[in-house]
Amino acid sequence: MVSKRLIREAGHRRKFLAIIDETPECERAVAYASRRAMSTNGALVLLFVVESADFQSFLGVEAIMREEATATANAALDAHAAEVRRKHGIEPELVIREGTPAGEIHKLIEEDQDIAILVLAAGAAKEGPGPLVASIAGKGAAFPIPVTVVPYNLTDEDIESLA
């Protein structure tokens, strides 16, 4: 069970959480979440999860791999944040976590009681909609807040009219 959301209390506002990864569809999720945050006077949180399992099989180079993964995460977050600032004039919160994506999303939602909506984008590849969207469909990662799934093929104009 998720902790009580605080968005209705003084000094709090609804936060939209978008996950940054190396999939092409994550840009659509950020576009939708940032537009919704702007139009509802909310806030935007961008989360990049560095998967720690990647480091465990290479003991001698673990620190170097972790540094490189963190640099990649920072670069991706900075690029998306710059675009959000340019297009919408809002300052997103940037978060880097290490672990499994579903686990770290759950932890962040529990820790930040202003996060009220998780925004994901479905991929258009024949392999499926993407791992996070697939995990929700299979109920393996059922998140404790509403999840908005944005189709990959939505244009900026579509998002503008919907968000």
In a domain, 24, yes or no: yes
Instruction: Walk along the chain (163 residues) and give the pLDDT tens digit of each residue.
Output: 567 776 777 777 899 999 998 888 899 999 999 999 999 999 999 999 998 765 566 566 777 788 888 999 999 999 999 999 999 999 999 999 999 888 999 999 999 999 999 999 887 766 656 666 655 655 555 778 999 999 888 898 999 888 7
pLDDT confidence of residue 137 = 57
Specify the number of domains making up the chain. Answer: 1
In a domain, 139, yes or no: yes
Range of the domain at 95: 15-157
* The 15-20 sheet, strands edge to edge: 93-98, 43-50, 15-20, 115-122, 147-151
* Widest CA span in the chain: 51
Cα angle, residue 134 at apex, residues 128 and 136 outer, rounded to 5°:
155
pLDDT confidence of residue 54 = 59
Q: What's 109's domain CATH number?
A: 3.40.50.620
pLDDT confidence of residue 109 = 94
Q: Model's pTM, two decimal places? A: 0.87
